[in-house]
């Protein structure tokens, strides 16, 4: 093990090699995704694919790790920030920038080993998870929200590991038709607004997600979990296992939302008209 | 060009369990993994497994000189499945050791004989052969229109933990 990774040798004798051979996709390089990029670089992930079609704006600078004031004037793509941060930390990492929607580079995303998602909407989460299931990709999702209550603000969020053959976002109750309809109505009527976002919950959630990723690749403790749903309470600074998934695991309830044979490209080899 | 073969750990566990079963007279068992394909960037290919077709006991021929010999009825059943489902078929068997497995000479010559037959019934999708050990996997993939198989670059076992078995050059 080389000097750079001496302090993480407890991850296993072959952990450096395993991580160097890993292709991780980050979808959404904002407040959450930028923490992913920084941490994957430090931990020694060999290939990092970054998908984001946005540029750095003034309002991003309160939480975009590695984003600087000059990026706003320079109209810097967020994927450029990703490359700068990751390559700066670990020049051996291969950073691949996709300044587009992930669905426009799906043939690249399908080749990843794991997908880390920090996307803005439930509909986007669902689309991304659906894609991951088609290619048996473990999908680790994070998200946060700030809710205004009569007594003040409440910060909530989630970290989810959705693995092929195991419980999905719908099983876990994060996504349901009512949530999707509400989101769509807000979008149609222009009520979506700009959601409050701050750096520290993103950091907590992204760090926890990276921990789940490492546990998946080079488990430092026995029996890594294939399905995880942790609920974040930013007011008490706590992460708790979600009761619904715990119940499903305890009672052996699997996923019924993704049929086994819905994999690959349904149109592969079909004649083009 | 990169060829990925992805399979869930639950499915892989079921396949190993089936292949570990003793057969009345064959030395080993074989089966067929069903899969669907997708293009990867740069001309690569991603084959994603979703099922497994066991070979019925009476579809094995009694040939003590080889590990297993599937007769015409067994192959016909696999071909029919590929035809109906329009899926990729990957022959699979298991070598009883740990670590990276690879095909024996007999395996390679037999694969080259019967795998191309699947293109007669499901011509658009890739087909191939996978070899398992107790804890690893490797394989060969034939693409439509190609005479020679390609070593599968990575067999990825999706689960917890996620395992990646890199292909060897032969």
CATH of the domain at A226: 3.40.50.720
Q: What are B8's strand-pairing partners? A: B158
CA B91 to CA A155: how far, in whole Å?
A: 52
Give the model's pLDDT for residue B19. Answer: 98
If one looks up domain B3-166 in CATH, what number appears? 3.40.140
A110 pLDDT more than 60: yes
Among A161, A263, A270, the strongest candidate for a mutation testing the B interface, having the largest count of B CBs within 10 A, is A263
According to the model, what pLDDT value does residue A269 have?
80
Which chain B residues are closer than 8 Å to A162 by Cβ? none
Closest by Cβ to A224, choosing from B11, B125, B160: B160
Q: Phi and psi for B144 in degrees, rounded to 5?
A: -55, 130
Among B146, B162, B165, the strongest candidate for a mutation testing the A interface, having the largest count of A CBs within 10 A, is B162
In this prediction the pTM is 0.95
Measured between alpha carbons, how far is B32 from A106 in angstroms, rounded to an integer? 28
Q: Do B162 and A217 touch (CB under 8 A)?
A: yes
For residue B1, give the H/E element and its range.
none
Query: What is the pLDDT confidence band of residue A222, given thresholds at 50, 70 and 90?
Result: confident
| 3 state SS of B112 | helix
Residue A89 lies in domain: 13-250
Residue A168 pLDDT exceeds 50: yes
Mutation site, B10, B14, B34, B48, interface A, largest A CB count within 10 A: B48
- CA distance, residue A7 to nearest chain B CA (Å): 22
Q: What percent of chain B has pLDDT over 90?
A: 91
Would you state the pLDDT for residue B170?
A: 47
B162:A138 CB<8 A: yes
| pLDDT band at A191; cut points 50, 70, 90 | low
Query: Number of A:B CB contacts under 8 A?
Result: 105
- Residue A31 pLDDT > 90, yes or no? yes
Residues B1 and A272: their CA atoms lie apart, in Å, by 23
Whether residue A19 lies inside any domain: the answer is yes
pLDDT digits (tens, 9 = 90+) for B34-65: 999 999 999 999 999 999 999 999 999 999 98
Please list, residue by residue across A250-264, b when 16 or more beta carbons sit within 10 angstroms of its beta carbon and e when fewer do: eeeeebeebeeeebb
Residue A233 predicted with pLDDT over 90: yes
Q: Which residues pair with A27 in a beta bridge?
A: A51, A117
- Of the pLDDT bands very low, low, confident and very high (cuts 50, 70, 90), residue B13 is very high
ipTM over 0.85: yes
Question: Torsion-angle region of residue A178: left (phi > 0), alpha (psi -120 to 50) or beta?
Answer: alpha
Interface of A to B at Cβ within 8 Å reads: 18, 21-22, 105, 107-108, 110-111, 113-114, 134-138, 163-165, 215-219, 224-226, 260-266, 268-270
Q: What is the pLDDT of residues B96-147, one digit of tens each?
A: 999 999 999 999 999 999 999 999 999 999 999 999 999 999 999 999 888 8
Nearest-CB residue to A264 (from B37, B41, B158): B37
Q: Would you tell me how many other CB atoms lie within 10 Å of the CB of residue A34?
A: 29
Tokens representing residue B10 in the block: 């639950």
**Residues A161, A136, B136, B96: is their CA dihedral positive or negative?**
positive
For residues A176 and A186, give the distance between their C-alpha atoms in angstroms, rounded to a whole number. 16
User: What total of structural domains would you count in chain A?
Assistant: 1
pLDDT at A220: 86
Segment A96-103 mean pLDDT: 98
What is the rounded distance in angstroms from the CA atom of residue A160 to the CA atom of residue A245? Answer: 10
B80 contacts: CB under 8 Å, gap ≥ 6: B121
Q: Where are the domains of chain B?
A: 3-166
A60 contact partners, CB below 8 Å, separation of at least 6: A30, A31, A67, A78
């Amino acid at each position: 093990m080389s000097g750079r990774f001496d302090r993480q040798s407890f991850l296993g004798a072959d952990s450096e090699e395993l991580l160097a051979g890993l292709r991780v996709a980050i979808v959404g390089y904002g407040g959450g995704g930028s923490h992913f990029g920084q941490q994957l670089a430090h931990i020694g992930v060999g290939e990092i694919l970054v998908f984001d079609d946005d540029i750095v704006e003034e309002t991003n600078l309160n939480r975009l790790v590695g984003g600087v004031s000059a990026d706003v004037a320079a109209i810097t793509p967020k994927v450029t920030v990703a490359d700068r941060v990751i390559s700066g930390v670990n020049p051996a990492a291969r950073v691949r920038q996709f300044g587009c929607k992930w669905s426009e580079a799906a043939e690249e995303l399908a080749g990843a080993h794991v997908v880390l998602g920090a996307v803005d909407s439930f509909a986007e989460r669902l689309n991304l998870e659906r894609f991951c299931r088609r290619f048996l990709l473990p999908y680790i999702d994070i998200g946060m929200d700030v809710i205004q209550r009569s007594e003040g603000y409440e910060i909530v969020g989630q970290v989810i590991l959705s693995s092929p053959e195991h419980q999905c976002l719908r099983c876990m109750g994060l996504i349901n038709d009512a949530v999707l309809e509400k989101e769509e109505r807000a979008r149609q009527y222009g009520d979506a607004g700009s959601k409050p976002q701050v750096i520290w919950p993103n950091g907590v959630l992204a760090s926890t997600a990276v921990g789940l990723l490492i546990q998946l690749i080079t488990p430092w403790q026995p029996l890594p979990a294939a399905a995880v749903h942790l609920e974040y309470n930013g007011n008490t600074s706590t992460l708790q296992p979600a009761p619904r998934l715990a119940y499903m695991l305890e009672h052996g309830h699997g996923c019924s939302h993704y049929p086994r044979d819905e994999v690959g490209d349904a149109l592969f080899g079909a004649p083009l008209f | 060009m990169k060829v990925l073969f992805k399979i869930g750990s639950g499915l892989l566990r079921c396949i190993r369990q089936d292949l570990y079963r003793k057969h009345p007279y064959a030395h080993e068992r074989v089966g067929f993994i069903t899969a669907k394909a997708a293009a990867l960037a740069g001309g690569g290919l991603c084959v994603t497994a979703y099922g497994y077709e066991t070979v019925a006991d009476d579809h094995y021929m009694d040939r003590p000189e080889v590990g297993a010999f599937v007769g015409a009825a067994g192959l016909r059943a696999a071909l029919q499945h590929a035809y109906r489902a329009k899926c990729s078929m990957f022959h699979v068997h298991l070598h009883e050791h740990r670590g990276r497995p690879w095909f024996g000479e007999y395996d390679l010559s037999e694969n080259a004989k019967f795998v191309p037959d699947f293109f007669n019934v499901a011509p658009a999708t890739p087909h191939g052969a996978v070899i398992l050990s107790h804890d690893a996997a490797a394989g060969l993939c034939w693409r439509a229109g190609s005479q020679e198989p390609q070593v599968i670059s990575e067999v990825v076992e999706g689960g917890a933990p996620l395992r990646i078995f890199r292909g060897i050059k032969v």
